[in-house]
Homo-oligomer: A and B are copies of this chain.
Amino acid sequence: MNLEFSPEEITFRDEVRTFIAENYPVELRGKQDEGDELSKEDFLSWHKVLAKKGWVAPAWPVEYGGTGWTPTQRYIWSEETARADCIRLMPFGLTMVGPVIYTFGTPEQKAKFLPRILSGEDWWCQGYSEPGSGSDLASLRTKAVQDGDHYVVNGQKTWTTMAQHADWGFFLVRTNADAKQQEGISFLLVDMKTPGIEVRPIITLGGEHEVNEVWLEDVRVPVENRVYEENKGWTCAKFLLAHERSGIAGVAASKRGVERIKEIAKTEMDDDRPLLTNPFFRRKVAELEMDLTALEYTELRTLAGEAQGKGPGPESSLLKIKGSEIQQRITELTLEAAGHYGAPYFRGFGEGDNEHPIGPEYANRSAPVYFNVRKTTIYGGSNEIQRNIIAKMVLGL
């Protein structure tokens, strides 16, 4: 038992560090830290650099374009990208539908979709939630009826992140209304340009357009775009949820977030002294570091288990719960640091606007980000659902 990196791992870390320093797009620097809204172009800019290097999908099997890194290397990778404040790529292609396709897809599906995910050519979105089925995902009602070699899909999805940019979406649809809830669902890959799809924006509290409603009216989807067996889509969904949870701790990013708060609190003044010397602000920072360290070592223990072949089990709900709570506390502290300057609502500079922002730079987005990050305890299976999962699957209650 030891915590040290091997010499090879240190070499790898240095390689990663150098690569980022030399290749991270200049125009993106600082954007993640500031909580700026990111455009599709922003994401693609970094995506393409990584794709070119072959590092865009570290966790994928090598045969499909993964890196073949060990868990420790992947850990180093996420540490270093977060440390350098790199923007986090959208997960829908790379860590969600990609793994579903290479795990459950046909050879044709793999050949068609995986390279375009890696290259960034296709932008993916996720059609899971519906207005009536949030936490109770399996109650979804969007239905797909087979008509020749197509499914005809009708229904409505919601909370579809970045659907406004999407080329493709993966959708859970009901293909058998008579079966028990989870047994009548199929997993479809849908071309977002298909007639009958309408994407309507949902504006969130900070004014962001991140999520959408997706309306589907007689949308024809080729049967060959169904992943895995008909009515067995829940298997893919469960696989994906577990996969999603294991990355969702967000330790590396939260570490960066805490570092940033410390930087802020060293210069931001609390009356006559730096905010970081206020015992109660400082204590909150220390408590964040404490809880983040507990989360980090819990994740490392989980990774060690995975390396020994214990899959990310329901214990990964722990990572989701604690990770999301910590993310929220970081935004709370940033807003607290902003003081009066948390209030101005400032949506970035218009063309040619050369005025200074209002208040310190970090403060501009502190409230919108605080509001926005409330979502982390709601999405990806709300923290209430995660506690239900632990109670049932881990504790046997």
Contacts and interface: CB of A to CB of B under 8 A. Distances in A.
A349 interface: no
- Place the interface of chain A in its size category: under 10
A88 interface: no
Contacts of A283: 280
A350 interface: no
A279 interface: yes
Nearest to A278: B279
Contacts of A279: 279-280
Interface string A181-208: 0000000000000000000000000000
A280 B286 CA distance: 13
Interface in A223-247: none
Interface in A266-297: 279-280, 283
A153 to B, nearest CB: 37
Interface in A50-103: none
Contacts of A280: 279, 283
A283 B280 CA distance: 9
Interface string A278-322: 011001000000000000000000000000000000000000000
A15 B189 CA distance: 83
A283 B283 CA distance: 12
A7 to B, nearest CB: 43
A283 B279 CA distance: 11
A358 B14 CA distance: 59
Interface of A: 279-280, 283
3 contacts: A279-B279, A279-B280, A280-B283
Q: Which 3 A-B pairs have the closest CB atoms?
A: A279-B279, A280-B283, A279-B280
